[in-house]
Amino acid sequence: MRTIPYSAAKSDLFTPWTRDDYFSQGEAQATASFAAELSRLAYCRKPPSRSFDRDKIQSVLKATGFSDCRFFESNAKGGTHCFSATGTDQGSGKRIGVVSFRGTDADDPTDIGDDADIILQSWEAGGSVHMGFANALAEIRPAFDDAIRAIGLPILFTGHSLGAALATLAASLFGSQTDGSALYLFGSPLVGNSEFAAIFTAMKMELRRYVDCCDLVTRVPPSELGYTPIAEPYYIDRNGHITLNPQPSFIASDRTAAEADYLLQYAWKIGDVGVRDLADHAPINYVWAATAATRVE
């Protein structure tokens, strides 16, 4: 029986910036829930513009002890969006930097185009990566590169969806510049090939890749095109509980049961996403699961 909140609402999937409840339950106390909220915060914008709501983001970060915000945006109409900040990690008490990328904006054709450009291309840090993701990161370089090099602290790289893919590329470039950096991914698509994945094994940085049950995005592009995950999954089951790399048979049976439950409880309701494979991708579902797991631990 599920005791952790769950949302099937289209608004939480397609317009996550409409929620205004960041860190409402003290999520900043642990890295996983903190990173999940940073990933959701990266969607915060001022419609109809796609630009960051900078005042709101700075206010939220200030409340968690982070300042020195920097914003990196392609333009107000669309493209890549990322912010950085520095502060004290409430778990360890150490000074760190955070870098969070925005995920796919459902009504931004630039993002959709980046997601669809799945050809593998050579990557400067090693291996081959998704061409669209590489092009998306290039939109904010070299200003982004210079700013990240200047932080001079361990960095928590994070993001959801497309944002997770961009965080992965950024971490492959700058994750080893300071000991203690980490990469926390939520609903991430696959980013590159096995040679690219090997970069992270060599760096030995803390790495967590969260997969919410039926989330389709975490399974594309397909392995038949040369893609491979960079780490084993922290799998969120249909009841919202997290397990590191469970058996494939467990995942398969859990997803089958989850899809059946979804058809009965949510799929037919006005305002809900039609299939669980998409509903499970909503950023808030990752936040709730990560927060619940932190409290259990």
Please give, one letter per residue, the 3-state secondary structure of 200-240: HHHHCCEEEEEEECCCHHHHCCCHHHCCECCCCEEEECCCC
pLDDT reading at 230 higher than 90: yes
Residue labelled with tokens 């999520």: 27
Which residues form the domain of 152?
10-296
Residue 140 located in a structural domain = yes
Summarised one tens digit per residue, pLDDT across range 47-102 is 888 899 999 999 999 999 999 999 999 876 678 999 999 998 876 778 999 999 99
Q: CATH no. for residue 193?
A: 3.40.50.1820
Q: Is 70 within the bounds of a domain?
A: yes
pTM for the predicted model, two decimal places: 0.95
Q: What is the pLDDT of residues 183-220, one digit of tens each?
A: 999 999 999 999 999 999 988 899 999 999 999 999 99
- Can you give the pLDDT at residue 107? 73
Tell me whether residue 2 is in a domain: no
Is residue 5, in this structure, part of any structural domain at all?
A: no
Q: SS3 for 268? A: coil
pLDDT at 261 over 60: yes
Give the number of domains in the chain: 1
In a domain, 175, yes or no: yes
Is there a domain that residue 158 lies in? yes
What Å distances lie between residue 47 and 12, 44, 77, 78, 159, CA to CA?
A: 16, 9, 10, 12, 21
* Cβ proximity of 103 and 159 under 8 Å: yes
Q: Is 1 within the bounds of a domain?
A: no
Nearest Cα residue to 36 out of 293, 290, 295, 297: 290
Q: What percent of the chain has pLDDT over 90?
A: 80
